[in-house]
Structure 1
């Protein structure tokens, strides 16, 4: 599956510091320095039936900062993202609106591509759909079956969470919490015939009216969790650097992905660091299709809102925080961008080197974009001054600030 066109990232006059991230599994701020020649990053992608709302955008912008911080620290990056282009929510949505599910998936995926390109998100090197990953999924299920981790309930195949001794280490949740979240997030804890209520489906046998593909286990389609596990193992290998996604994926999705892989790769964790973005609310509740409180990037763009103002609005919030969108934020961001551009247009300005150091240090410290953007705000204020006149102490300041805002924050001025 194709991704989207990559933005140009300018070179910086200095190398950024090593990155540290908050790791969900340990609860600590840990080094996220790439373990090999390139940083290996997997971020779970969309199920394409409601793209792209601001909750999606905030997550992908957060991990775009990591991609950029690694590059600015001198590392190559191998970034992988999936598209769950066949799954229950997509099929249910297609049925409800009387649209072919493949048409709906392609339409929403294309909209997502356009939004990511407009927001200047660096695209993944490998952008893989669930449908095209089916051979990888089948191969992984066969390996798990050989390891004794798979069993059948009617036409469905289940993964046994007991097969991974480290099950639960990623989320740190107790069993009662797991059971609650599993039921709320697509699991089937009450299904008769399962060995453990937390066991998850890896191959869903064919149902009338649903798409299916042939396999050695009978016709059907992949489970959600094994899709990402198979793609990550294929394109990043075991023990890759960072598994990213929204905080609603901590359990069951990332826990199950880790378990699937760790049964087969006993000597390495699925990922070295698990990093999770916060949830974005609107009108008092988390944005979701069921609540009807989604704010779409495309709707803002179609209202002639500069995509860079959307990006700046999102970067004003730390990527790991839960927060609530207010419509006024994007208009504040438009005003801020106008000031940034006015300061850049002066050419000379306040000294730039300390600002570059502060921006890069902030982003290396758990992707602290609010601290980084505040540093740019201070430079703009110092450059424009209270009377609107530039401080001409650094004749190359504007060019330097222009580059760091683009390379580190992804904002084109």
Structure 2
């Protein structure tokens, strides 16, 4: 069996992954707050942990992996969106949840086994809060319930590597008068008449953000499970607070044993920001004609633990690469028994850049079946099910002006001439023609289907005139 090694944020080192139960490998990943379209930063952890999910299924078997990713559908951002739009909260969350699922499917992400919504687990949250109060880890104050950080000083801060005293000194938290300690955080808060609320022992209210993941993880995965993931912006306070709640409510368990965090995303070297005009949702890019497979490729070209820079140039290069790979693998049977090079790269802390470099080598050597199997493992759709690359490429004998709208009439005669020269063993002339064609921006290759041209998005067919 493949040995998987993962960098554990909690221990700050790479560790051999040993699941609690190989028959039921369990993973929880924090999902989105559903009030708007998912932006690129939201999508990165989805793609990262989708690859891990696929790897776990590959190693342990699909029926032996349980993946949970939640939806936060009770939140002040949602309340604000409802107030400004005049729409019902349930209508907004239902719509944006489906948007998220549709957009992530375009990126090739599998749906997790469970996708719980916070509002489905309010009773379980109330029960956990009651338990924390009974054990002396939480207290009621002015219609709020707060977790008492001082009750668990020995464990609080270990994930993020901060001491409680240091966190208090540098705290940027609401220092409410009813807090015993500035670092205490809300488990339950009151709701006014215009806000969503549920009855509880502390009056009508709604849960704090952190308690929802603890309650849902416990209900769906138990008091101890294998992997907890998310963006590194969630490490503190969200994940730190999850650990505190869960370990205090269920001290006999470990909560999550391996913690994984992906780094943040930039756009053209700068932090993504609406004020800078470089803020993109996934849907924005899809609507611009950038295929989901291309977005996924750009994401996976950078290791998940390094900051990722989205650039237009990277997207163009990814589209060019995938076009060639799809042409090579179209109609080919995958050779899954040769996946060990790529699976070993992924097993080394999800080294997707190394996996992609191996796939480049497979493509250069014409190993179409192996490449196709590797593409499947990394979550790229099969060529037979994808059409976008066909309008960016032409293959002699299989393409025509009718099914290839981009410059077929202009390019096909050159491909025919190149083939004729090669058939006549006039190799010097054939090589010169190939070089001349590539000087126009085309990429010429000889595939199992025949002479082939990849066409860049900015191709100018007028450049062919000089070759006639």
TM over 0.5: yes
1:369 has 2:355 as partner: no
CA distance in 2, matches of 1:236, 1:108: 26
- Change in Cα spacing, 1:284 to 1:376, as seen in structure 2 (3 Å) is closer
C-alpha contact (below 8 Å) 1:181/1:252 kept by paired residues = no
Find the residue that maps to 1:132 and give its secondary structure. helix
1:410 positional shift: 4.0
CA distance in 2, matches of 1:348, 1:139: 52
C-alpha contact (below 8 Å) 2:156/2:164 kept by paired residues = no
Mapping 1:250-269, distance limit 5 Å: 250-269=235-254
C-alpha contact (below 8 Å) 2:363/2:371 kept by paired residues = no
Per-residue CA shift, 1:293-325, capped at 9, x if unaligned? Answer: 421111222223221111111111111211221
Per-residue CA shift, 1:366-393, capped at 9, x if unaligned? Answer: 111111111111111222xxxxxxxxxx
C-alpha contact (below 8 Å) 2:9/2:159 kept by paired residues = yes
Provide the aligned length of Structure 1 versus Structure 2: 379
CA distance in 2, matches of 1:179, 1:288: 29
In structure 2, what is the equivalent of residue 148 of structure 1? 136
Per-residue CA shift, 1:101-131, capped at 9, x if unaligned? Answer: 3322222111101012222212111111111
In structure 2, what is the equivalent of residue 61 of structure 1? 47
In structure 1, what is the equivalent of residue 403 of structure 2? none
In structure 1, what is the equivalent of residue 215 of structure 2? 230
Find the residue that maps to 1:281 and give its secondary structure. strand
1:95 positional shift: 2.8
Mapping 1:38-57, distance limit 5 Å: 38-57=24-43
Q: TM-score, normalised by structure 2?
A: 0.76
1:197 positional shift: 0.7
CA distance in 2, matches of 1:84, 1:290: 26
Mapping 1:314-333, distance limit 5 Å: 314-333=299-318
CA distance in 1, matches of 2:273, 2:70: 20
Mapping 1:155-174, distance limit 5 Å: 155-164=143-152, 165-174=154-163
1:286 has 2:271 as partner: yes
- Change in Cα spacing, 1:109 to 1:313, as seen in structure 2 (3 Å) is same
1:99 positional shift: 3.7
C-alpha contact (below 8 Å) 2:223/2:253 kept by paired residues = yes
C-alpha contact (below 8 Å) 1:308/1:412 kept by paired residues = no
Q: Which runs of 5+ in 1 are unaligned?
A: 1-14, 384-396
Of residues 91, 100, 117 in structure 1, which corresponds to 2:105? Answer: 117
1:291 positional shift: 6.9
- Change in Cα spacing, 1:175 to 1:38, as seen in structure 2 (3 Å) is same
> Any runs of at least 4 consecutive aligned residues in structure 1 with deviations exceeding 6 A, and if so which?
289-292, 351-354
Higher relative contact order structure (alpha carbons within 8 Å, sequence separation ≥ 6): 1
In structure 2, what is the equivalent of residue 360 of structure 1? 343
1:32 has 2:17 as partner: yes
CA distance in 2, matches of 1:182, 1:133: 30
C-alpha contact (below 8 Å) 2:298/2:314 kept by paired residues = yes
CA distance in 1, matches of 2:118, 2:333: 51
CA distance in 2, matches of 1:97, 1:292: 24
C-alpha contact (below 8 Å) 2:224/2:257 kept by paired residues = yes
Mapping 1:1-400, distance limit 5 Å: 17-36=2-21, 37-75=23-61, 76-164=64-152, 165-175=154-164, 178-179=167-168, 183=172, 187-188=173-174, 190-282=175-267, 284-287=269-272, 293-345=278-330, 347=332, 356-383=339-366, 397-400=367-370
CA distance in 2, matches of 1:123, 1:241: 19
Choose 107-116 or 164-173, whichever is displaced more. Answer: 164-173
Q: TM-score, normalised by structure 1?
A: 0.85
CA distance in 2, matches of 1:225, 1:108: 21
- Change in Cα spacing, 1:92 to 1:177, as seen in structure 2 (3 Å) is farther
- Change in Cα spacing, 1:106 to 1:178, as seen in structure 2 (3 Å) is farther
- Change in Cα spacing, 1:86 to 1:318, as seen in structure 2 (3 Å) is same
CA distance in 2, matches of 1:173, 1:285: 28
CA distance in 2, matches of 1:398, 1:54: 31
In structure 1, what is the equivalent of residue 426 of structure 2? none
Instruction: Let me know the Cα RMSD of the aligned residues.
Output: 2.4
Which structure has the greater CA radius of gyration? 2
CA distance in 2, matches of 1:182, 1:50: 29
1:29 positional shift: 0.3
C-alpha contact (below 8 Å) 1:309/1:337 kept by paired residues = yes
Q: Which has the higher helix share?
A: 2
